[in-house]
Amino acid sequence: MNVLVLIASGTIVLSSVPLVLGHGYIVDPAATWKDGYAVNGWGSSIDSSMWGSIDSSVYGYGTTATVAFFEAQFNSSGYNSLGQFIETNQVLYSDNIDEQCGYTVYDDTARQTMPATNLTHTGFTHPGPCEVWCDDTVVLFEYDCQATYPDIPAGIPYDESLCADANRFTIYWLAVHGAPWQVYTDCVWLDGGSGSGSAPSSVAETVSSSVATAPPTTSSESTATATTAYPDTSSSSTSSTTSTTTTAPSTTTATSTASSAASSASTTTSSSSTANEADEASTPTTTSASTSTSSSDTSTVITTTAPATESSEASGASTTAKCSRRMRRD
């Protein structure tokens, strides 16, 4: 797994440093984990803004506010379980993650026996709801498992009879301490059962069209990679032409007119161009400056026209400065 490291100079370096993705996981009953992945990793995420911004005047601030906000929205959302909410809205961290069981995998030779009275979790190190199922039976649900089970590791009392003869144990935990919300889903296959089974039926049930869902997107991994790319600011991506005509005000001497035109032209040409020079005396009374600059497919043409001018100091002859026309050679 690769980690993007931002260096102070602005360079993006791709480093092959293992990323520790998360925190807590089930240990009794013990799960079997996908090789090469952290057992305490979050396997998917949910857009924390799917219900809009948190109104601090109603819920306050910090993670306590987030938990209260989630509870209020979830209660009126139309979802029948946390598991259904997660499976409907989650974005998998990568295509290698199982949408029903996260990093845990089915191994028929590693079936477990349910503990008496207490489940054991390494610890809910972030606030947020959790939910436990044995097949299609809800064993427990809490809106803030960190507050309800604060110990490290956490002992979770449960009714053992609810898991009698069950094939698959599933625990969902949604950590809401930041953006996006992190999803931790663990599955354990139990003694006496057979086959891999499936997600609880109410979890797998499709929500009605009236229920708010997170916007569809790609996996978290591909999304994070995509956002590291700098936007294309080169002008070659578009093609446009801008033409501006500016008429210089009447002046009293040809010398000042030429100076004004040269100054105007020099401010729009590329840095490699030199200021236009007044290098030739001529009798025409109109001075025209045309400068073309281009960056890839974008060009700008500025035409400056000066009206006829006369010099009170001239003895019958007027002079103007000739503005050269310079085009960049491609």
Please measure the distance between the N-terminal and C-terminal CA atoms of the chain and give it in whole angstroms: 45
| Cβ(295)–Cβ(317) below 8 Å | no
pLDDT over 60 at 45, yes or no: yes
**Cα(104)–Cα(187) distance, rounded to whole angstroms?**
6
Sign of the four-CA dihedral 30, 34, 38, 40? negative
- Global pTM exceeds 0.75: no
For 164-223, the three-class secondary structure string (H helix, E strand, C coil) is: CCCCEEEEEEEECCCCCEEEEEEEEEECCCCCCCCCCHHHHCCCCCCCCCCCCCCCHHHH
The H or E element that residue 132 is part of is strand 130-134
Contact partners, residue 77, CB within 8 Å, separation at least 6: 51, 85, 211, 212
pLDDT digits 0-9 by tens, 219-268: 444 333 332 222 333 333 333 334 444 444 444 434 443 344 344 434 33
Could you tell me which of 112, 105, 172, 169 has the C-alpha nearest to residue 145?
A: 172
Report pLDDT for 218: 52
**Cα(163)–Cα(112) distance, rounded to whole angstroms?**
12
- Copy the structure tokens of residue 120: 């054991």
**Cα(317)–Cα(287) distance, rounded to whole angstroms?**
16
Could you tell me which of 321, 188, 176, 190 has the C-alpha nearest to residue 258?
A: 321
Mean pLDDT of the chain: 73
Beta bridge partners of 303: 245, 290
Could you tell me which of 282, 277, 233, 243 has the C-alpha nearest to residue 259?
A: 277
**Cα(258)–Cα(248) distance, rounded to whole angstroms?**
10
**Cα(278)–Cα(259) distance, rounded to whole angstroms?**
8
**Cα(45)–Cα(41) distance, rounded to whole angstroms?**
11
Amino acid at position 128, single letter? G
Report pLDDT for 38: 75
Q: For 112-166, where are the alpha helices, taking DSSP H only? A: 145-148
Stretch 36-63: mean pLDDT:
92
| Cβ(299)–Cβ(232) below 8 Å | no
Which of 16-25, 91-100, 185-194, 204-213 is the least confident region? 16-25
User: What is the pLDDT confidence band of residue 217, given thresholds at 50, 70 and 90?
Assistant: low
**Cα(190)–Cα(132) distance, rounded to whole angstroms?**
14
Amino acid at position 154, single letter? A
